[in-house]
């Protein structure tokens, strides 16, 4: 009888210990998430796109304070990933197209020669993020990794076709690895942080 009581007590204690650190236990576990697919007729689509475009304007400006910060950190894609994954295809695509165009108009960055490539990669990112989020209905590191591999892989082929330069096509891989890591880890935690809203 005493053995049984001790066994039950230790089982309960173990359960309590498991639940005392929910951050460690639930960090990569699924919790309640809200992913949307906002339509073109919804005012929310334009409101959120405007906010994410503002993020895609501010973040590159901060990154350009570091030498070659834009090429290394790839900041113009960050909020496009969040917009498309969280709010769907239309909001993501609107963010993807508006961000490079507004940055170019205001600051001349990206330059005219790079603008078509960045528009293509941004659109590919929006399509991939919205599709994977819609299909999985989950926020997972491997999902975000798939999005990054897709838009970079197809984007490299498009850049090679447009420029004819293998070196130019490989630039994001050669220099932009920290930026892709930022998209993967930063995007994951950012999406997790807003997942219930």
Burial of 103 (0-12, 13-18, 19+ CB in 10 A): buried
- Reported confidence tier of residue 19, pLDDT bands at 50, 70, 90: very low
C-beta contacts of 109-113 below 8 A and 24+ residues apart: 109/60, 109/64, 109/70, 110/70, 110/76
List the end-to-end C-alpha distance of the chain, in Å, as a whole number: 49
Q: Which residue has the tokens 């999406």?
A: 191
d(CA 130, CA 4): 52
pLDDT confidence of 32, banded at 50, 70, 90?
Answer: low
Domains of the chain, residue spans: 35-193
The mean-pLDDT minimum among 34-48, 106-120, 170-184 falls in 34-48
Distance between CA atoms of residues 159 and 128, nearest Å: 18
As assigned by CATH, the class of the 35-193 domain is: mainly alpha
What are the structure tokens assigned to 99, written together? 């961000």
């Amino acid at each position: 009888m005493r053995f049984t009581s001790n066994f039950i007590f230790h089982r309960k204690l173990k359960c309590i210990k498991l639940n005392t650190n929910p951050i460690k236990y639930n960090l990569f576990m699924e919790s309640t998430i809200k992913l949307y697919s906002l339509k073109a007729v919804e005012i929310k689509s334009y409101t959120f796109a405007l906010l994410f475009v503002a993020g895609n304007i501010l973040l590159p400006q901060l990154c350009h304070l570091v030498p070659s910060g834009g090429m290394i950190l790839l900041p113009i894609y960050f909020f496009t990933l969040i917009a498309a994954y969280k709010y769907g295809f239309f909001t993501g695509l609107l963010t993807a197209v508006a961000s490079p165009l507004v940055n170019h108009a205001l600051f001349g960055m990206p330059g005219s020669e790079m603008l078509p490539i960045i528009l293509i990669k941004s659109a590919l990112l929006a399509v991939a993020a919205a599709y994977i989020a819609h299909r999985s209905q989950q926020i997972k590191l491997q999902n975000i990794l798939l999005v990054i591999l897709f838009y970079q892989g197809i984007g490299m082929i498009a850049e090679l076709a447009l420029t004819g330069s293998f070196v130019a096509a490989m630039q994001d891989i050669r220099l932009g690895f920290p930026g892709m890591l930022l998209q993967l880890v930063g995007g994951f935690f950012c999406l997790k942080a807003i997942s219930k809203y």
